[in-house]
Structure formats: structure tokens, C-alpha cells
Amino acid sequence: MQKQSLAAIAMLMHEFIDLFGLKKADVENWLARPTVQLHTKYQKTNSGRSRRFTRLNVTELALIGAFVASGVKASDAALFVNVLMDEQRFSISGGKRFYAFAPHDHLNGVPMQELNSSALTKLIENSPRGSIAIIDIGGIFQRVETLFAEI
């Protein structure tokens, strides 16, 4: 089997940001800010050349974006996503699909394989704001896999 080149296993930012609801400025900000501790290795930028992103880069950025959209600070989201990716708790093969949490309380969320109304009701009842966020972790992993399978 022939080794794929970096170009064959990586993509440019414009090829994935819309699929995950990311903004170019946010991604560039996360890459530049030392307070956002990204876990995966990113290609260095070169003058006149666009940075390419690997499957792991895209997964990390998509997960961070989902948590940020749910009210979690980017720096906190990056740390939490690092744990998710390190533990491979949400791998496509056997992890929980969803992660539900009360606003500003993502560390005490509940991983679920299916959206369970009693667990969601309990989260809502315990939420000071009477609301929760649900992130489709498994769905994000699956969309990244599908995206890279098309390369």
C-alpha cells in the first residue's frame, strides 16, 4: 500500500468550516492564542501557503466550536476536548454519542448513547437557568470521517 501524501490526508480551512458552523476568524484566533491549548499538532504557516488541517485537527476544532457555540469559553472547551480525545471516550466505535450539560457547567454533563428524556429533564431541573446544551459528539466524529473519506 502506498503512503498518502500530506495533501491527500489534509485539507484547507475553507473545505470544512461551513460543515461544522465554524468561523475562519474564530479558528485563526484559537490557533494563535496561547490560552487555547490545542491538543493536536498543526502545520506551521508559511508565507504564501495556506495551512492544511488533518483529520485530528478538524475533529478538535469542530468539537471546540460546538462547545463554544453552547456557551463554553474557547480555552475551557479546548481543555475539555483534549480530555475527550485523549480518553477516546467518544470514538465512533463505542463511545457515547451525545453530551448534555447545563450552561456554564460542562464539566458536570452527562454522556448519553441516546437522548433520554428522564436524564434530560433532571439536567434541566438542576440547571439554574432551566436550560441545557446537547452536543452530538458522535455525529461530529462521523461527519469528520465522512469528510475525509471523500478526499
Is 109 within a domain?
A: yes
Q: Is residue 3 part of a domain?
A: no
For residues 9 and 151, the answer to whether their CB atoms sit within 8 Å is yes
Mean pLDDT of 80-92: 70
Smallest CA-to-CA distance from 120 within 109, 136, 105 is with 109
Does any domain span residue 35? yes
Neighbours of 41 (CB within 10 A): 9
pLDDT of res. 7: 44
Q: What is the average pLDDT across 19-39?
A: 96
**4: confidence class by pLDDT, cuts 50, 70, 90:** very low
Find the domain containing 90 and state its range: 10-149
pLDDT tens-digit profile of 8-26?
589 999 999 999 999 999 9
At residue 79, the pLDDT reads: 94
Whether 4 maps to a domain, the answer reads no
C-alpha dist (Å) from residue 120 to 23, 38, 43, 99, 139: 29, 30, 40, 10, 19
Dump the DSSP string for 43-84: PPPBTTB--EEEHHHHHHHHHHHHHHHTT--HHHHHHHHHHH
Mean of the pLDDT values across residues 27-44?
94
Q: Could you tell me if residue 144 is inside a domain? A: yes
pLDDT of 87: 60
What is the rounded CA–CA span in Å between residue 34 and residue 84?
A: 20
Question: pLDDT value at position 91?
Answer: 52
Q: Residues 93-136: pLDDT tens digits?
A: 456 789 999 988 999 888 898 998 998 999 999 999 899 999 99
- Does residue 138 belong to any structural domain of this protein? yes
Q: What is the mean pLDDT of residues 139-147?
A: 92
Please state the domain count of the chain: 1
Residue 5 placed within a domain: no
pLDDT tens column, 38-76: 999 999 888 888 899 999 999 999 999 999 999 999 999
DSSP 112: E
